[in-house]
Chains A and B, each alone.
Chain A
Amino acid sequence: MIEVMVVLSTIVMFILFTKLYQRYPHPIMIPLVTTTIVSAVILLVFDIPYATYMKGGEWLQKMLGPAVVALAYPLYNQRAIIMKYKYSILSGLFIGMITGLVTIFGLLRWIGVKESWMLTALPKSLTTPVGMQVSEMIGGIPPLTAVFVMIAGFVGAIIGPLVIRYGKLDTAVSRGVAIGSASHGVGLVKLREYGEQELSVGSLSMGLTAVIGAFFCPLFVYLFM
């Protein structure tokens, strides 16, 4: 019963907030942000445990698998531009991976946090399922990693467009690689609004960053920690 209620209410809220976003297209109004905040507030106010909510939430989360597979479609459609810029995309991905790891490592060292927090935050630019697996591998706290992954995604979706505008990232390839490698699927939601080229380069970047990151993150920990 609770399962159906969670799924239905989430879908209804999502549709309403999507309509609202179409009317007021401000970055802070993206349906992911608004629906999440309202859901979290409802759970807190009515004192519903997250585990109870997840009985229904799981159903929606299960769709993430086929939805990630679906990204093969824009990837296939745009294979010409990807092949044309393969060296730029590949080198961009490595730059993104290294910049992400080095900056979070440096910042957290500077703040002086516990090692377990550090290991939890390192996989933040990998897509949720990979990020959580890597976190477990290196000794982080996987559900908390999921939260950091989401924050990295939100940054790409909400502030990313400002970086694109003021940083003068004018090409589909640079936008796709930058957002896809730093902000994974959540960032892709925003890239979709730029166009299919951005979206396909972005989904390729997300996928490859996950693949490269699954090997690179543990290696980084082994070398520097």
Chain B
Amino acid sequence: MKSGKMLNENFVAIFLRVVRIIVQIGILNIYYYLGVGIVSYLHIPLPGSIVGLLLLVLSLIFKLIKVEYIQDGAGFLIGVLTLFFIPATVGVIDYPELMSGTGLLIILAVIASTLISIYVTGLLTQIIEKKELAKKEMAIKEEKGELTVD
């Protein structure tokens, strides 16, 4: 009897969570289509999803929407993000010429270019970041220094 009740409560909790995720994905979809609409109306050469993302960030910052209204749906979609890339990736099978000599060389070039980018970007960003941090710490110290002089 007791365990049956607990199972019931568990089921209700899971059911509510699923409903919440679905409703929140609906809200995310509204932002997506807002982005798509803006892009096609203003003829901006950008995907609607990026504009929708920016709109949602702005809405959250200016408190037009509470983060609680999207966090479960967003967390779920980010968790299964990979799934949505699969169909586009399977498209490789339509390009057998990629398996030719030139095709493979281009693939190697893409791989090399990406690796170099990651390394160079990461390394330089880290150097700039440490300088930015050091500058900020200096500024804080100077402020404190002034305070003690005063």
Contacts and interface: CB of A to CB of B under 8 A. Distances in A.
Main secondary structure of the interface of A (DSSP, over half): helix
Contacts of A148: 106-107, 110
Interface in B91-150: 91-95, 98, 102, 105-107, 109-126, 128-129, 132-133, 136
Given A43-B93, A57-B90, A128-B85, A76 B50 contact: no
B75 A73 contact: yes
Contact of B90 (A30, A40, A124, A177): A40
Interface residues of A, number: 101
Interface residues of B, number: 72
Nearest to B107: A151
B106 A182 contact: no
Nearest to A213: B46
B137 to A, nearest CB: 12
B84 interface: yes
Contact of A177 (B48, B83, B106, B125): B125
Interface string A23-42: 00000001110011001100
Contacts of B136: 84
Nearest to B135: A87
Interface string A112-132: 010001000100110111100
A32 B93 contact: no
B18 interface: no
Contact of B129 (A32, A53, A63, A174): A174
A185 B85 contact: yes
A210 B47 contact: yes
Contacts of A63: 77, 83-84
Interface in A146-199: 146-148, 150-153, 155-156, 159-160, 163-164, 167, 169-171, 173-175, 177-179, 181-183, 185-186, 188-189, 192, 199
Given A91-B128, A134-B45, A192-B78, 20 more contacts: A14-B82, A14-B83, A64-B84, A65-B29, A69-B53, A70-B75, A73-B71, A95-B120, A95-B121, A104-B113, A133-B47, A144-B98, A151-B111, A155-B114, A156-B118, A159-B115, A167-B123, A182-B121, A185-B85, A186-B85
19 contacts: A32-B89, A36-B86, A39-B90, A57-B86, A57-B88, A66-B29, A85-B132, A103-B112, A103-B113, A104-B109, A108-B106, A124-B114, A150-B88, A151-B111, A167-B123, A169-B122, A173-B126, A174-B126, A189-B82
Nearest 10 Cβ contacts at the A-B interface = A57-B87, A178-B122, A92-B125, A73-B74, A68-B49, A72-B56, A70-B74, A129-B47, A96-B121, A174-B126
Interface of B: 25, 28-29, 31-32, 35-36, 45-50, 52-54, 56-57, 60-61, 67, 70-71, 73-75, 77-78, 80-95, 98, 102, 105-107, 109-126, 128-129, 132-133, 136
